């Protein structure tokens, strides 16, 4: 399509990149089968729960073409939603962090909420539990569509199938309030096999969690898969919404689909994929004027912001925030390198664009570290950057230094935590020893003399038969007598005493299984 044709077809583009979410290079790896089919629905959808069937033609390894089909059911808990998708990804992360167990994986609801970047409260607990139950209960049927990596073939029919094959949620309450919740889960054996056999795809969880638009989230995971080996993608909105399983009344007309996509594309522009960055996210009218066409372009790394075609919206608040951060970063550079106050700093548009690119790629904290690192390194030599662009060449080394510092900080935090736990363990042990000594004194004072002598003599006789060591026998014999008295008086062991202390802190508990 020529530039004139482009203008005639009223190209619709999103003007500026969103405020990027600071993402880690760490990736999770969900089952590739689930990533190939858009089984998740917007959680705020007004569509009534119903079974959905996805169909497509696939080519088997032997060259045969078959009709592949996935049927996604529903229960009284509703359909699988975008919230359940986030929960599923969070469970993958927990499973990976726990060492990829082949049996149940234990978790805490507070830890799960932390991964999902949610606060802690009754609403969060209830919504997360409902997500877990839908993952456990919602039935799926796979026909010529589920790849089994163990047998290296596509299963003709697989049902019943649930994403989680086992789930237990345990709650502890005090005065009617939930004080602790934890449990365990297990993935379906087919999913578990594929995860262990690496039939997976990488995914940036932090990016998925950053979306406010549910359509942006669904579209992002679709694009992340589709664009793994391409840098350009086009699709009419009618076919795109069929791919995504979105067929409600609100998506029936092209204008409705366009409006829904415009809101989603605001968030997608400038977002990082596992294989690059989305640099273009636009809508164009089709040549026959019956629909709109989505156009996505990807670059291996973030380019400088460039002017787009006609914008449909005013710059968003996130765009303004990004510009503010970029200006502050440039001002920070001048203060560090040239001791220029913020009030006297007037950054050029080129410097601001360079700062935007740096922040978009790596996040504001890493961008500031690039400035600090470059300043530290250049103090050792004669070179002194005069402009912001002069520090860009230090980015790779600065990011490596940032990660090293982060690892050192994490190691120090881990060491502090270990010392804290060791101190707590030492305190508990001392408290237990005091408790045990008092109980032994009480027993000696309350037991009849004859019974006390009999217990001690039996302990000594048993000790002399078993212990042939000639050194330290007096102390060992005394410990044997104390152990016999503790057994007689039902004095709990250290491990039992700790459990009693924990139970005293959380006297009430309820649990349920699915």
- What are the tens digits of pLDDT across the range 217-243? 999 999 999 998 888 899 999 999 988
Q: Take residue 402 and report the two structure tokens written for it.
A: 């940032």
Q: Within 13 A of 175's CA, how many CA atoms are on the CB side?
A: 1
SS3 447: coil
* Element holding 402 (H helix, E strand): helix 395-446
Q: Which of 176 and 512 is assigned the larger pLDDT?
A: 176
The mean pLDDT of 460-465, rounded to a whole number, is 84
Q: Within 13 A of 168's CA, how many CA atoms are on the CB side?
A: 8
What is the biggest distance separating any 2 CA atoms in the chain, rounded to whole angstroms? 110
| CA-based torsion, 174, 177, 178, 179: positive or negative | negative
Q: Which tens digits make up the pLDDT trace of 240-262?
A: 998 898 877 778 889 889 998 99
498 pLDDT exceeds 70?
yes
Residue whose C-alpha is closest to residue 366's, from 335, 338, 406: 406
pLDDT of 225: 93
318 pLDDT exceeds 80?
no
pLDDT of 301: 57
Residue 133, φ and ψ in degrees, nearest 5: -65, -35
pLDDT of 499: 81
Residue 278 CA to residue 281 CA, distance in Å, equals: 7
Q: Take residue 240 and report the two structure tokens written for it.
A: 């795109």
Residue whose C-alpha is closest to residue 355's, from 317, 379, 390: 390
SS3 157: strand
57-66, 263-272, 282-291, 300-309: range with lowest mean pLDDT: 300-309
Residue 506 CA to residue 171 CA, distance in Å, equals: 10
427 pLDDT exceeds 70?
yes
313 pLDDT exceeds 70?
no
Residue 491 CA to residue 483 CA, distance in Å, equals: 9
pLDDT of 236: 93
489 pLDDT exceeds 90?
no
CA 156 from chain center: how many Å? 32
pLDDT of 481: 87
Strand order across the beta sheet in which 508-513 lies: 105-108, 177-187, 164-174, 508-513
The mean pLDDT of 4-13, rounded to a whole number, is 40
Q: Take residue 266 and report the two structure tokens written for it.
A: 């605001």
Residue whose C-alpha is closest to residue 26's, from 475, 438, 403, 408: 403
358 pLDDT exceeds 50?
yes
Residue 168 CA to residue 346 CA, distance in Å, equals: 59
pLDDT-derived band at 452, boundaries 50, 70, 90: confident
5 pLDDT exceeds 50?
no
| CA-based torsion, 479, 485, 487, 491: positive or negative | negative
pLDDT of 443: 86
Residue 199 CA to residue 30 CA, distance in Å, equals: 9
pLDDT of 428: 87
163 pLDDT exceeds 90?
yes
203-212, 215-224, 503-512: range with lowest mean pLDDT: 503-512
Q: 108: how many CB neighbours lie within 10 A of its CB?
A: 14
14-18, 164-168, 174-178, 276-280: range with lowest mean pLDDT: 14-18
pLDDT of 468: 64
In b/e form, how buried is each residue of 140-169, taking b as 16+ CB within 10 angstroms? bbbbbbbbbbeeeebbeebeebbbbbbbbb
Q: Which tens digits make up the pLDDT trace of 266-291?
A: 999 889 999 999 988 999 999 888 99
């Amino acid at each position: 399509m020529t530039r004139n044709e482009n203008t005639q077809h009223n190209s619709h583009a999103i003007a500026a990149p969103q405020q990027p979410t600071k993402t880690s290079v760490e990736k999770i790896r969900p089952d590739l089968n689930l990533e190939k089919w858009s089984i998740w629905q917007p959680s705020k959808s007004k569509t009534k729960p119903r079974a959905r069937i996805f169909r497509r033609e696939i080519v088997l390894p032997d060259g045969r073409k078959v009709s592949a089909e996935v049927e996604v059911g529903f229960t009284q808990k509703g359909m699988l939603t975008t919230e359940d998708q986030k929960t599923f990804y969070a469970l993958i992360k927990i499973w990976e962090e726990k060492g990829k167990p082949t049996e149940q994986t234990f978790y805490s609801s507070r830890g799960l909420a932390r991964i999902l970047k949610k606060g802690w409260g009754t609403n969060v607990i209830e919504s997360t539990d409902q997500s877990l139950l839908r993952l456990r209960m919602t039935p799926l049927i796979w026909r010529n569509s589920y790849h089994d990596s163990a047998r290296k073939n596509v299963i003709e029919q697989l049902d019943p199938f649930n994403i989680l094959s086992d789930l237990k949620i345990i709650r502890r309450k005090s005065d009617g309030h939930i004080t602790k919740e934890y449990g365990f889960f297990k993935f379906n054996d087919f999913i578990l096999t594929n995860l262990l056999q690496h039939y997976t795809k990488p995914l940036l969880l932090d990016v998925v969690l950053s979306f406010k638009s549910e359509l942006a989230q669904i579209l992002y995971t679709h694009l992340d898969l589709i664009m793994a080996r391409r840098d350009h993608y086009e699709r009419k909105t009618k076919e795109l919404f069929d791919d995504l399983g979105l067929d409600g009344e609100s998506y029936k007309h092209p204008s409705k689909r366009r409006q829904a996509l415009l809101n989603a594309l605001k968030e997608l522009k400038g977002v990082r994929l596992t294989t690059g960055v989305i640099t273009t996210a636009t809508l164009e009218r089709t040549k026959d004027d019956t629909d709109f066409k989505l156009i996505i372009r990807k670059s291996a790394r973030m380019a400088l912001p460039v002017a787009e075609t006609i914008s449909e919206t005013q710059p968003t608040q996130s765009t303004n925030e990004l510009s503010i951060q970029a200006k502050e970063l440039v001002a920070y550079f001048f203060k560090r390198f040239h001791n220029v106050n913020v009030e006297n700093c007037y950054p050029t548009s080129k410097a601001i664009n360079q700062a935007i690119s740096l922040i978009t790629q790596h996040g504001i904290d890493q961008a500031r570290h690039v400035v600090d690192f470059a300043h530290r390194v250049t103090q050792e030599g004669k070179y002194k950057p005069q402009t912001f662009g002069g520090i860009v060449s230090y980015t790779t080394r600065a990011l490596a230094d940032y990660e090293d510092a982060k690892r050192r900080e994490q190691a120090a935090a881990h060491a502090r935590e270990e010392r804290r736990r060791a101190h707590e363990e030492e305190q508990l042990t001392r408290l237990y020893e005091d408790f045990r000594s008092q109980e032994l004194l009480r027993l000696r004072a309350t037991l009849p003399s004859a019974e006390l002598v009999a217990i001690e003599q039996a302990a000594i006789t048993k000790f002399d038969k078993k212990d042939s060591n000639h050194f330290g026998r007096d102390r060992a014999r005394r410990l044997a007598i104390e152990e016999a008295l503790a057994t007689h008086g039902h004095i709990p062991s250290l491990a039992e005493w700790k459990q009693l202390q924990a139970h005293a802190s959380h006297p009430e508990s309820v649990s349920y299984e699915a």
